[in-house]
Amino acid sequence: MTLADPTPSTAGFAGSTASPRLFEKHSPVTGASLGQFPIADSEAVDAAVARARAAFPGWRDTPLAVRLEALNRGRQVLLEHADDYARKIAADTGKPIFEALMFEIAVVPLFLDHYLKRAPKVLARRKVSTPLAMAGKSGYIEHFPRGVVGIIAPWNFPFQLAVLPVISALIGGNTVVLKPSEVTPIAGEVVADFFRRLGLPPGVVEVVGGDGSTGAALTRANVDMLFFTGSVATGRKVAAAAAERPIPCELELGGKDVFIVCADANLERAAEAAVYGSMGNCGQACVSVERAMVVDSVHDRFIELVKRKLEKIKVGGPDENADMGPMTFAKQLQTVERHVESARQAGAKVLTGGQRLARAGLFYPPTLLTDIRPDMDIYREETFGPVLPVIRVRDEEEAIRLANASEFGLVGSVWTQDLEKGLRIASRLESGQVMVNDVYSSVGHPGLPFGGVRSSGIGRYHGDEGLLSFMNVKAILVDRGKADYDPIWYPYNNKLASAFEVFRGVAGKKLGSVIRGFLGLRKASIDGHDGK
Ligand code: NAD
C-alpha cells in the first residue's frame, strides 16, 4: 500500500445520523454567539468506530515508513494553514494568536521530527539476553497496535492536545476516533481539517463532535483503548468505563504544580518564570505554576519582583495585541472566583488583581495571593486560571514535604543556582516531570515522557513511552528446534537429583553446577526416551 497521493480523506465531524442536537458556542472575548455545533449521538459514535475498525487492518499493515511519510505531510499542511488555524483557535479560546501559533501549532512539527527519527528504533523488534539455564533459546520483544483508540480531548490546548495523541497512536498502526471538547468546537473543526488534508485512507481518523454525552458514548463503544485528557472527575468515569470491558486506559489529568524557590535562586529569572508559568494560556494549563513555595529569606523580595511584573501584563482579546487573553470557559472562571474569594475570606492577601474585569467576555486579571495556608481550597484544588498563590516556607525541606503531600503530581520546578542541589530536589519530588530553573519547557520537549502520578493520571505520552503507550507488548521466544525434545520435558523419572543440581547452580550462581545438572537432565532424558 502506498499513500503517496494525498487526496482528502473522510476525517471530519461525524454528526448524528438523524437531525442532531445542537449546542451553541459563545466567544470568550465578546460573549457573542459563534455558531451552533452538532452533538454526535451514540449511533453516530458507533458508526465512526465501525469505520475506524474497518480501516484498522489496512493501516496496521501499511509499512511504518509509509505511515510516517503520510503523517509528515502535516508539516506542509501547517505551513500552508498555520495563520488561518491560529486565528481560528485564538477566536475559539480567546488566547493570543502568538500562543495559538507557538503552543498549539509549532509543537506539531517538533514532535513529528522527533518521531520520524525515533519511531523506527522504538517500534523495532529487539533481542533480550537469555540466561544460561535457557541456553539454545532466544528472546525477543516486539509491539503491535492496540486497534481502534478512542481519544477524548480538553479545551485548554484544543489543537495540540488532540493532534499529538492522535499522531502518536497512528504511528504505531492504530486507527483513531477523536472527540474534541465542546468548549472549543471551532478548534475541533480545525483538527478535523488538519487530518482531512493529510489524505489518510478513509476511517483512519474519525472526529466526532459533541459534548460529554458523546465522550461517554465513545467510552462505551467498541474501541480497544481509551486515551483521555481532562479533569479528574471525568477521568474517573472514563477509567470506570474502561474497567467494564476491560480495555487499557490512559489518563492525563490535572495538576497543582509546585515552584520551589531556594535561597540561592536567580531571583530575577525565578520571578519572571513564575509570572510566565502561572499566566501563560491565562493559567489554563495542566503545567501551570499553581503553588509557588518560596524560602523565607527571599520571599519578600520575590513577591516584590513578581508583583511588578504581573502588573505589566497586557490583558485583552486576540485582536488587541495582548499578552494574556480571557479565560476560555465560563465555568472555569467561576472556579477561579470561588478560590480567590474563599482564600481572601480565610486571610489570604490579594496583592494585585482578584476581581473580574468590568468588560464583556471572560476576562480575569493576573492575580497574586500571599499568606496562603494548606486548609484553603486554592492550596489543594486545581485553580486553572491566572492566579499565583505564594506560600512562605522555612526551608527547602519544608517545600519538598508540602509538595509531596499533594493529591496531584504532574509537574514541578526547582529554582537554584546549585544544579547538583536542583537535581537532588528534582529526584525527591513525586511528580511526572520536574524542571530545574525552567517552566513549561519539559512538556514541549518531544523526547521527554509526559504524565502524572496519583490523581494527575495514569500512563505517559511524548517521548518513546508515548509511542509505546499505544502498543501491545509481545514477547517471542525462539528455540532452534533441532533437538527432538527438551531435557526438562517428560519423563521425569531419575531427574530429581539433576534438577536440584541445576537449581543450586542458578540460585547459588555456580556455573559448573548448572552445566553438570543439565548434562544429568539430558542423559536422563535420552535414557527415558530410549526406554531404559
Ligand atoms: P473535562 O473532564 O470537563 O472534559 C474533557 C473531555 O471529556 C471533553 O471532551 C468532554 O466533552 C469529555 N467528557 C465529559 N464528560 C465525559 C464522560 N462522562 N465520558 C467521557 N468523556 C466526557 O476537562 P476539561 O475541563 O475539558 O479540561 C480541563 C482539565 O484537563 C484540567 O483539569 C486540566 O488540568 C486537565 N488537563 C490535563 C492535561 C494533561 O496532559 N495532564 C492537559 C490539559 C488539561
SS in 3 state form for 175-224?
EEEEECCCCCHHHHHHHHHHHHHCCCCCCCEEECCCCHHHHHHHHHCCCC
Spacing, Cα 290 to ligand 1 middle (Å): 18
Question: In whole angstroms, what is the distance from residue 358 CA to residue 336 CA?
Answer: 16
| 439 neighbors 289 (Cβ within 8 angstroms) | yes
| 459 neighbors 251 (Cβ within 8 angstroms) | yes
Question: In whole angstroms, what is the distance from residue 110 CA to residue 100 CA?
Answer: 15
Q: Return the residue matching grid coordinates 509538595.
A: 403
Written as one letter, the residue type at 259 is: F
Spacing, Cα 30 to ligand 1 middle (Å): 24
* CA-proximal residue: ligand 1, atom 4 (nearest): 230
Q: Which of 163, 286, 334, 336 is the pocket-test mutation for ligand 1 (most atoms within 8 Å of CB)?
A: 286
Residues 6 or more apart from 65 whose CB is under 8 A from it? 120
Model confidence pLDDT, tens digit, residues 406-464? 999 999 999 999 999 999 999 999 999 999 999 999 999 999 999 999 999 999 999 99
Angle, helix 419-428 to helix 396-404, in steps of 10 degrees? 30
- pLDDT in the model for residue 139: 98
Model confidence pLDDT, tens digit, residues 87-96? 999 999 999 9
Residues 6 or more apart from 99 whose CB is under 8 A from it? 90, 280, 281, 325
Burial state string for 216-249 with b = 16 or more CB within 10 A and e = fewer than 16? bbbbebebbbbbbbbebebbebbbebbeeeebbb
Q: How far is CA 153 from CA 181, 214, 232, 451, in A?
A: 6, 12, 13, 15
From the CB of residue 19, how many other CB atoms can be counted at a distance below 10 Å?
8
Spacing, Cα 39 to ligand 1 middle (Å): 17
Q: Percentages helix, strand, coil for the chain, rounded to the nearest 5? A: 45, 20, 35
Q: Which of 21, 95, 103, 156 is the pocket-test mutation for ligand 1 (most atoms within 8 Å of CB)?
A: 156
Average pLDDT rounded to a whole number, residues 194-207: 98
pLDDT band for 532, please (50, 70, 90 cuts): low
* CA-proximal residue: ligand 1, atom 40 (nearest): 252
Spacing, Cα 413 to ligand 1 middle (Å): 24
List alpha helices for 94-206, DSSP H. 97-99, 107-122, 160-171, 185-197
Question: In whole angstroms, what is the distance from residue 529 CA to residue 532 CA?
Answer: 8
Question: In whole angstroms, what is the distance from residue 94 CA to residue 448 CA?
Answer: 29
Percent of the chain predicted with pLDDT > 90:
95
Average pLDDT rounded to a whole number, residues 322-328: 98
- Kindly give the number of the ligand 1 atom that is closest to the alpha carbon of 286: 34
From the CB of residue 1, how many other CB atoms can be counted at a distance below 10 Å?
10
Pocket of ligand 1 (CB under 6 A): 152-156, 161, 179, 181-182, 211-212, 215-216, 219, 229-231, 234, 237-238, 252-255, 286, 382, 384, 410, 452, 457
- As annotated, the active-site residues are 252, 286
Q: Return the residue matching grid coordinates 542458578.
A: 506
pLDDT band for 133, please (50, 70, 90 cuts): confident
Give the global pTM.
0.96
Q: Which of 41, 104, 107, 152 is the pocket-test mutation for ligand 1 (most atoms within 8 Å of CB)?
A: 152
Residue closest to 422 by CA, chosen among 435, 431, 432, 410: 435
User: Does residue 14 have a pLDDT over 80?
Assistant: no
User: Does residue 177 have a pLDDT over 60?
Assistant: yes
Spacing, Cα 435 to ligand 1 middle (Å): 25
* CA-proximal residue: ligand 1, atom 33 (nearest): 254
* CA-proximal residue: ligand 1, atom 30 (nearest): 230
Average pLDDT rounded to a whole number, residues 147-163: 98
| 223 neighbors 149 (Cβ within 8 angstroms) | yes
Antiparallel, parallel or unpaired: β 249-252 and 457-458: antiparallel
User: Does residue 309 have a pLDDT over 50?
Assistant: yes
Grid cell, residue 328, equals 476560555
Model confidence pLDDT, tens digit, residues 205-236? 999 999 999 999 999 999 999 999 999 999 99
Spacing, Cα 298 to ligand 1 middle (Å): 37
* CA-proximal residue: ligand 1, atom 21 (nearest): 215
- pLDDT in the model for residue 19: 80
- pLDDT in the model for residue 458: 98
Spacing, Cα 455 to ligand 1 middle (Å): 13
Average pLDDT rounded to a whole number, residues 96-109: 98
Question: In whole angstroms, what is the distance from residue 35 CA to residue 20 CA?
Answer: 15
Question: In whole angstroms, what is the distance from residue 402 CA to residue 419 CA?
Answer: 21
Grid cell, residue 516, equals 553438570
101: which DSSP letter? Answer: I
Q: Which of 229, 232, 247, 411 is the pocket-test mutation for ligand 1 (most atoms within 8 Å of CB)?
A: 229
* CA-proximal residue: ligand 1, atom 37 (nearest): 253
User: Does residue 8 have a pLDDT over 60?
Assistant: no
- Kindly give the number of the ligand 1 atom that is closest to the alpha carbon of 211: 11
User: Does residue 16 have a pLDDT over 70?
Assistant: no
| 315 neighbors 282 (Cβ within 8 angstroms) | no
Strand partners, 432: none
- pLDDT in the model for residue 3: 42
User: Does residue 531 have a pLDDT over 90?
Assistant: no
Q: What is the mean pLDDT of the chain?
A: 96
Q: How far is CA 39 from CA 15, 21, 180, 181, in A?
A: 7, 5, 11, 11
Question: In whole angstroms, what is the distance from residue 134 CA to residue 38 CA?
Answer: 60
User: Does residue 13 have a pLDDT over 90?
Assistant: no
Spacing, Cα 231 to ligand 1 middle (Å): 4
Strand partners, 229: 252
Question: In whole angstroms, what is the distance from residue 57 CA to residue 14 CA?
Answer: 22
Q: Which residue has the higher pLDDT, 113 or 18?
A: 113
- pLDDT in the model for residue 5: 38
Angle, helix 296-310 to helix 267-279, in steps of 10 degrees? 50
Q: How open is the CA angle 443-447-451, to the nearest 5 degrees?
A: 45
- Kindly give the number of the ligand 1 atom that is closest to the alpha carbon of 179: 9
Element (H, E) at 370: strand 367-370
Q: How far is CA 440 from CA 44, 145, 198, 287, 403, in A?
A: 37, 31, 29, 7, 18
- Kindly give the number of the ligand 1 atom that is closest to the alpha carbon of 233: 2
User: Does residue 475 have a pLDDT over 50?
Assistant: yes
- pLDDT in the model for residue 17: 54
Grid cell, residue 347, equals 486571610
Question: In whole angstroms, what is the distance from residue 396 CA to residue 294 CA?
Answer: 9
